[in-house]
Amino acid sequence: MNRVIGKGLVAVAVAVVVLVVSAAPAEAKNGVYIGASVGQTTLRIDDIDLDTDAFDYKADSTATKIILGYRFMAFLAVEGSYVDFGSLEDSASVGGVPVSVETDLKAYDACAMGMFPLGIADVFAKAGVVSWDSDVRAAFDDIIDDRGESGTDLVYGVGAQLRFKGLAVRAELEYFDISDADSLYLISVGATFTF
């Protein structure tokens, strides 16, 4: 019985792949597109120096993104985004003193995208630059330290999308190579509409 179910699931998976790859003229619609997505940010900074000790900072938050792009042809697009990474907070006890760090991080990015059409779907990779701005509030017991930082660094991403005429539903993973962070990732899902 389990073999029959297993073979049935394999047959369904193969049928779905065949339909996606061989879907009738579902050519990518070229032109200007806009969109939005929502996802999760993960920020990690190892060994923040606190004079007497070090603090490993790791925080997650809900992020939102607004997208504007232009698809020149089936294989090439350019895209810009405004990303609000959310409010990222972490706390610990360092040397018996409570420490908390809150980071509000926002960015603009611009990327070139290589796309590989597969019937009604695309897989894509992108690379570009990100201009970011952060407000950091650190509390050491009763001492508050507010500071702002900004910079321009690189961003990389991969993803996939399903197209339905001008509408595309996408999922993607982006890595922001920010010099002040050990890692900053954004996993998101969203939609774009091509005019």
Mean pLDDT over 83-109 rounds to 86
Q: Is-above-0.85 flag for pTM?
A: no
> Which of the two residues, 173 and 141, has the higher pLDDT score?
173
State the average pLDDT over residues 96-100.
Answer: 77
| Distance of alpha carbon 44 from alpha carbon 183, whole angstroms | 5
What was the pLDDT predicted at 146? 80
Q: Which residue has the higher pLDDT, 157 or 137?
A: 157
Q: What's the pLDDT score for residue 138?
A: 78
Residue 1 has pLDDT above 70, yes or no: no
Residue-by-residue DSSP string for 40-107 = EEEEEEEEEE-SSSEEEEEEEEEEEEEEEEEEEETTEEEEEEEEEEEEEEEEEEETTEEEEEEEEEEE
Residue 2: per-residue pLDDT: 39
Domains detected in the chain: 2-194 (2.40.160.20)
What is the pLDDT at residue 49? 62
What is the rounded average pLDDT of the residues 81-107?
Answer: 86
pLDDT > 50? residue 102? yes
Q: Which two tokens stand for residue 93?
A: 């006890």
pLDDT of residue 6: 43
The rounded distance, in Å, linking the Cα atoms of 150 and 24 is: 47
109, two tokens: 């990015």
Per-residue model confidence (pLDDT) at position 99:
78
Question: Is 41:184 a contact under the CB 8 Å cutoff?
Answer: yes
pLDDT exceeding 90 applies to what percent of the chain? Answer: 58
Among 54-68, 71-85, 91-105, 128-142, where is mean pLDDT lowest?
91-105
pLDDT tens digits, 2-56: 344 444 444 434 443 444 444 444 567 899 999 999 999 999 988 766 555 666 8
pLDDT of residue 187: 98
Write out the two tokens for 194.
């091509």
pLDDT band at 101 (very low <50, low <70, confident <90, very high): confident
List, in sequence order, every residue forming a beta bridge with 144; answer none if it has no partner: 139
